[in-house]
Amino acid sequence: MHRIFGGPILPTLVKLAAASIVVGLLLAFFGIRPVDLWYDFLDTVARIWHMGFDAIDWSVKYFVLGAVVVIPIWLFVRLWTFLVEKK
């Protein structure tokens, strides 16, 4: 347990409690409530989730757009190479 807490357990718990009180007072001074922090965290996770799907949508759209041009050209080159090698 000594290694997990970074020192003796009781003094570490006292330091954590004191730091928590100081930070809690500062947050209360600025009008921030714990539930606000939780909702902001969940909102951030939701935004990241949607950004990920937006990135997938963006990449699929441009993949298909490029494939409409690249695949026919590739097929033409492959057929041309096949026909030239036959001669």
Model confidence at 64: pLDDT above 70 = yes
Q: Which residue type occupies 84?
A: V
Q: Which residue has the higher pLDDT, 4 or 78?
A: 78
Q: pLDDT (tens digit, 9 = 90+) per residue, 13-40?
A: 999 999 999 999 999 999 989 888 889 9
Q: How many domains are there within the chain?
A: 1
Q: Are 13 and 21 within 8 A, CB to CB?
A: no
Domain that holds residue 77: 2-86
Structure tokens at 44: 């951030």
Distance between CA atoms of residues 42 and 47, nearest Å: 9
